Structures are given as C-alpha cells and as structure tokens.
C-alpha cells in the first residue's frame, strides 16, 4: 500500500504534545514521543510507566492534548488491557460512540520494557491486545540518575557500573528485547531511530493497518546519561545506525526485514568515541580488546543478516 509519508515534509503538522515539559533539553525520548503522538493523532491515550517520560505531566500541568495515564513501572501493558477491553465493551453495548474510541499507546523506558514490566508485556502480547508500545531505549535507568538497566550496552559506564581497573563498565550484554518480543510472534515489532524519522513514520503507518500488538523499540539518546552535548543527539543516533550498532528492522508476524542497510558500515568506535559513557575505552589508554570485541559483535550480527 502506498505511503502518505513520501518525504519528511509529509509529517503531520499538528502537535499533540505541546512545549513546556520538565524533560532535559535535547531529550531523545521527548522527540520520539512527539513524533509518535503526531502519527497517532488526536484520540490516543498514552499509558506511561514510571520513568523519565512519566514526568511529562506533573500536576497541574500536562503537555498532552489527548489522554494520558501514569501507571506503576511494572504494569503499563496491563492498564492498556483494562482500557482497551473496557472501550470494546462500551462500544459493543453502544454505551459510547465510535468517535469516543481511543488508540492505546504504552510508553515506557527500557528499564520497564526489558526488566520490571516484561512479564506484563509478555502477557499483553500473548493475549493479542490491540495496542502500540513505544519503548524509548536510553539504555539505563535515566529517571533515577542513570544506573545500569538490562538494556545497558556491554562496556558502557553507568552510575552502578562505573569503569574501574577491573571491569570495563557493564560486563553484561544488552538484553535483546526485539528478539524477546518477536518470539511472541506479534503482528508488528520494529526498531526505530530519531535520526530516521521517515523510516519511523513508515513503520508507524504500516503498523496502524494491523490489529494486535504493535511494538516499537526506539534508540533514545540521553544527554546527561550518555555524557553527550544535547545538540549531538541526532548525529549520535545516526551514527548508531551507520555503524550498525542500532539496526533498523521490522518483523511482521515474526518475519524479520532490515529497513535500512548501510553496505559500508562505519567503525563502531566512531559511535563509541562520541560519548562519555564509553570514554574509558579510549582514555587514559585505548582498550583495544573491548573495542575490537564490540566491532566483532556488530560484524557478526550483520554478516548473519547479509548472508
């Protein structure tokens, strides 16, 4: 089916999230939410698990033009289930009009998505709940000052994985949420990036034609957590795709396709070198072993994809 979003210029102009939030200047997550809500349009309800984005509305202010619901960290998908089921009941029984219906969006960080909320998400996907899920993956618990989450990349430094002589930041690998979600065979799961808004719009549009779980994992640069200047957010997100660290892909009913493929990938150290959280890999001495290992991991991934 043809896309309404041929170029960036086709972006919906109506803002669903108005200015004035308490989020950091240059927050990657804020940009993702802004674009996602534009694509959903009015008549959405955002079910927000505790995390940075749950500070979007703080009494008595809200930037949202549509409904928003703050839920405990572990159970946003369960609230989505309750809202969706209730709307269906009310529509069935003609107690509300079709125009009252809402698109249900679960919005959580990677901590809730990969850790404490994974059970509730698995349940919702398993039940075939018709909802969108946007996980803004800033690779740490940013709301509490950036501690390691299950989504923190290997060798990254966080407040709870400080680099020392013994360990190179986080010694654990990033949890592969895409594969975990995909194993449930939802109709749609995709990765997105704030540097590839066109790709993102196409994916949201495509998912919008499907019923059931529509799941998105968004690379979400976090200036204070990653130790980057706020203006570099898009550049760094772009580098993550160009180096192959953040593959852009989708899976329809479990079938994976990569949507952006850079035949010639930049070396991963170009990405790593932009961020304070990887600085210990370069200073005081270059940690060749770790950098090489990370390059190898990325190469292995893409070799398997391109085979």
Partner 1 sequence: MINVSLHGRGGQGIKTASHIIGTAAFLSGSYVQDQPLYGAERRGAPISAYVRISRQPILERGTIENPSLQVISDDSLLESAADNPLEKIRESTVVLINTSLTKSDLASKYSLKNPLIVFDLAKFDPEIISRPTLGIAVAAATCRTLEMDFDLVRQSMIKELSGIHLDKDDIAMSIDLAKRVYDMVTHGETVMEVSGIRESGIFEMKFHNPAVSTCSITATGNSMLRERGRWSGFQPIIDYERCTKCMICYVYCPDSAYTFDSKGYPVVNYDACKGCNICQTECPVKVITLVKRNKT
Partner 2 sequence: MRELLTGNGAVAAAVRLCNVEYIPAYPITPQTEIIETLSRWISEKTMNARFVTYDSEHSMVTGAGAASLTGVRTFTATSSQGLLYAFEMLYNVAGWRAPIVLANVSRALAAPITLEPDHNDVLAARDSGFVQIHAETCQEVLDSVIMAYRIAEDDRVRLPVIVNLDGFYLSYTREPVDVPEGQEVSKFLPEYKPTFGYLNARNPVSMGVSVLDSSAYSYFKYQMHLASLNAMGVHDQVSAEFERIFGRKYDVTDEYMLDDADYVVVMTNSFATMGKSAITRLRTEGKKVGLLRIRMVRPFPKQAIAKKLAGKKGVAVIDQNISVGSGGILYPELAGALYHTEERPKVLISFVGGLGGKKISFSEFRHIVSTLEGAAREGTPQAQSVLLFTEDNWMKVREMLKIAGKGDVNG
* Phi, psi for 80 (deg, rounded to 5): -60, -40
Size of the site for ligand SF4 (CB under 6 A): 11
> What's the CA angle centered on 150, arms 107 and 256, to 5 degrees?
70
Q: What is the residue whose two structure tokens read 């405990």?
A: 72
Among positions 5, 17, 23, 177, the unique one binding ligand SF4 when judged by CB under 6 A? 23
* Burial class of 135 by CB neighbour count within 10 A (0 to 12, 13 to 18, 19+): buried
Q: Using the rule CB under 8 A, is 172 a contact of partner 2?
A: no
* Phi, psi for 204 (deg, rounded to 5): -65, -40
CA–CA distances in Å: residue 66 to residues 16, 168, 299: 7, 44, 43
Q: Using the rule CB under 6 A, is 102 a contact of ligand SF4?
A: no
Q: How far is the CB of 137 from ligand SF4 (least distance, A)?
A: 10
Q: Using the rule CB under 8 A, is 63 a contact of partner 1?
A: yes
Among positions 223, 268, 274, 295, the unique one binding partner 1 when judged by CB under 8 A? 223
Question: In terms of DSSP bridges, do strands 67-71 and 131-137 run parallel, antiparallel, or are they unpaired?
Answer: unpaired
Q: Using the rule CB under 8 A, is 180 a contact of partner 2?
A: no
Question: In terms of DSSP bridges, do strands 131-137 and 213-219 run parallel, antiparallel, or are they unpaired?
Answer: parallel
Determine the interface stretch with partner 2 among 89-97, 177-185, 248-256, 290-298 (rule: CB under 8 A).
89-97
Contact 266, 216 (CB under 8 A): no
Q: Using the rule CB under 8 A, is 171 a contact of partner 2?
A: no
Q: Using the rule CB under 8 A, is 62 a contact of partner 1?
A: yes
Q: How far is the CB of 229 from partner 1 (least distance, A)?
A: 8
* Phi, psi for 88 (deg, rounded to 5): -60, -40
User: Which of these, 169, 275, 278, lies nearest to 230 by C-alpha position?
Assistant: 275
Q: Using the rule CB under 8 A, is 105 a contact of partner 2?
A: no
Residue 84, SS3 per DSSP: helix
Q: Using the rule CB under 8 A, is 65 a contact of partner 1?
A: yes
Residues 105-144 that bind ligand SF4 (CB under 6 A): 138, 142
221 DSSP 8-state letter: -
Q: Using the rule CB under 6 A, is 32 a contact of ligand SF4?
A: no
Residues 12-31 that bind partner 1 (CB under 8 A): 13, 15, 17-28, 30-31
* Partner from partner 2, ligand SF4, partner 1, none binding residue 229, C-beta < 5-8 Å depending on class: partner 1
CA distance 27 to 111: 17
Nearer to partner 2, 54 or 295 (CB): 54
* Partner from partner 2, ligand SF4, partner 1, none binding residue 225, C-beta < 5-8 Å depending on class: ligand SF4
Provide the sign of the torsion angle of the four alpha carbons 148, 152, 157, 158, taken in this order.
negative
Q: What is the residue whose two structure tokens read 């033009």?
A: 65
Q: How far is the CB of 28 from partner 2 (least distance, A)?
A: 22
Among positions 11, 12, 38, 55, the unique one binding partner 2 when judged by CB under 8 A? 55
Question: In terms of DSSP bridges, do strands 248-252 and 188-192 run parallel, antiparallel, or are they unpaired?
Answer: antiparallel
CA distance 118 to 121: 5
Q: How far is the CB of 222 from ligand SF4 (least distance, A)?
A: 3
Among positions 28, 29, 77, 163, the unique one binding partner 2 when judged by CB under 8 A? 77
Determine the interface stretch with partner 2 among 6-14, 54-62, 179-187, 243-251 (rule: CB under 8 A).
54-62
Among positions 81, 108, 243, 274, the unique one binding partner 2 when judged by CB under 8 A? 81
- Residues forming contacts to ligand SF4 in the complex (CB under 6 A) are 23-24, 27, 29, 52, 138, 142, 222-225
């Amino acid at each position: 089916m043809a896309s309404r979003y041929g170029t960036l210029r086709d972006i919906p102009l109506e803002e669903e999230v108005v200015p004035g939030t308490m989020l950091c200047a240059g927050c990657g997550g804020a940009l993702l939410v802004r674009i996602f809500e534009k694509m959903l349009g009015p008549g959405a309800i955002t079910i927000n698990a505790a995390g940075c984005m749950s500070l979007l509305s703080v009494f008595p202010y809200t930037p949202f033009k549509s409904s928003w619901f703050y839920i405990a960290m572990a159970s946003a998908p369960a609230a989505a289930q309750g809202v969706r089921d209730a709307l269906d009941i009310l529509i069935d029984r003609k107690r509300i009009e079709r125009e009252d219906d809402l698109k249900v969006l679960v919005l959580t960080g990677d901590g809730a998505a990969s850790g404490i909320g994974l059970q509730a998400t698995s349940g919702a996907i398993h039940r075939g709940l018709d909802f969108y899920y946007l996980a803004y993956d800033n690779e740490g618990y940013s709301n509490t000052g950036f501690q390691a989450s299950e989504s923190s990349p290997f060798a990254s430094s966080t407040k709870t994985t400080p680099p020392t002589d013994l360990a190179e930041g986080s010694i654990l690998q990033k949890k592969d949420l895409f594969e975990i979600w995909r194993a449930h065979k939802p109709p749609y799961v995709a990765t997105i990036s704030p540097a590839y808004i066109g790709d993102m719009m196409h994916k949201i549009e495509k998912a919008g034609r499907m019923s059931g779980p529509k799941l998105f994992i968004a690379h979400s640069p976090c200036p204070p957590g990653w130790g980057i200047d706020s203006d570099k957010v898009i550049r760094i997100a772009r580098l993550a795709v160009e180096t192959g660290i953040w593959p852009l892909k989708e899976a329809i009913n479990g079938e994976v396709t990569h949507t952006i493929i850079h035949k010639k990938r930049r070396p991963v150290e170009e990405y790593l070198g932009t961020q304070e959280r990887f600085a210990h890999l370069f200073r005081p001495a270059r940690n060749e072993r770790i950098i090489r290992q990370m390059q190898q991991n990325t190469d292995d991934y893409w070799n398997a994809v391109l085979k």
